[in-house]
A and B are shown apart, each in its own frame.
Chain A
Amino acid sequence: MWLPWGINVKHIYLAFFSIVSIALCAFTMIIHSQYKTVEDLNDDTVYQYETIGQTRNIYIGTLEMENGVRGYILSGDDRFLKPYREAGARLRAQVVTLRNVTYREKAFFAQTNVWLDSIDDIQKTYERQIAAVRTHGRGAVSVQDLGRQKAAMDGLRERLDDSVAMRLSSLKAHVKQVESQRANFIYILIIGAIIGIGIVLIGTITIIKLETENQAFEDESRKAEMRFRTVMNGINDGLYELNFVSETFYASREFKAMLGYGEDEIADTIDAVMSLVHPDDLPKVLEVRRQYIMRQSPVYANVFRMKHKDGTWRWVLSRGVGTWDKFGQIRTLIGTHTDITEQKEREEEYKQLHADMEAFTYITSHDMRSPLVNLKGFSHELAMAVEEVRELIEPQKRKMGADTWARLEALLKADIPESLGFIGKAVDRMDTLTTAILDLSRIGKYVYREDRVSSRDIFDKCLGAQSYELTGKGVEVVVGHLPELITDPVALEQIFSNLLDNAVKYLQPGRPGRIEVSCVETSREYVFSIGDNGRGIEADDRQKVFHIFRRARNTGDVRGLGLGMAFVKATLRKLSGAIWFDSTVDVGTTFYFSLPKKLPAAANAELPQETRALAS
Chain B
Amino acid sequence: MTPPFSEPFSLVLVEDDAGHASLIRRNLKRSGVQNTIEHLESGKAAMDYFFGPDQPERHYDKMVAVLDLNLPDIDGFEILKHLKASETTRRMPVIVLTTTDSPKDIDRCYALGCNVFMNKPVGYDEFSEAIQKLGLMMTIVRVPHIND
Which A residues fall within an 8 A CB radius of B? 366-367, 369-374, 376-381, 424, 427-428, 431, 609-610, 612
Contacts and interface: CB of A to CB of B under 8 A. Distances in A.
17 contacts: A366-B99, A369-B99, A373-B20, A373-B120, A373-B124, A374-B19, A374-B20, A376-B124, A376-B127, A377-B20, A377-B124, A377-B128, A381-B23, A424-B124, A609-B104, A609-B107, A610-B103
Contacts of A369: 99, 122
A610 B121 CA distance: 20
What is the predominant secondary structure among interface residues of chain B facing chain A?
Answer: helix
Contact of B122 (A367, A376, A380, A610): A376
Contacts of A373: 17, 19-20, 23, 99, 120-122, 124, 127
A379 B125 CA distance: 11
Most chain B CB within 10 A, of A370, A373, A610, is at: A373
Given A366-B70, A366-B100, A381-B26, A372 B122 contact: yes
Given A366-B99, A369-B99, A374-B23, A379 B124 contact: yes
Interface in B117-146: 120-125, 127-128
Contacts of A374: 17, 19-20, 23
Q: Lowest 6 A-B CB distances belong to which pairs?
A: A374-B19, A376-B124, A377-B23, A380-B124, A377-B124, A431-B122
Given A378-B23, A609-B103, A370 B70 contact: yes
Given A376-B127, A428-B123, 9 more contacts: A366-B70, A366-B99, A369-B99, A370-B70, A373-B23, A374-B20, A374-B23, A376-B122, A609-B103
Interface of B: 17, 19-20, 23, 26, 70, 99-100, 103-104, 107, 120-125, 127-128
A159 to B, nearest CB: 139
Contacts, number: 55
A424 B125 CA distance: 11
Most chain A CB within 10 A, of B17, B70, B123, B125, is at: B123
A27 to B, nearest CB: 94
A377 B122 CA distance: 9
A524 B70 CA distance: 48
A74 B121 CA distance: 180
A137 B137 CA distance: 190
A431 B123 contact: yes
Contacts of A612: 103
A370 B107 CA distance: 21
B140 to A, nearest CB: 25
Contacts of A610: 103
Contacts of A379: 124
B99 A377 contact: no
A612 B102 CA distance: 10
A376 B122 CA distance: 8
Contacts of B122: 369, 372-373, 376, 427, 431
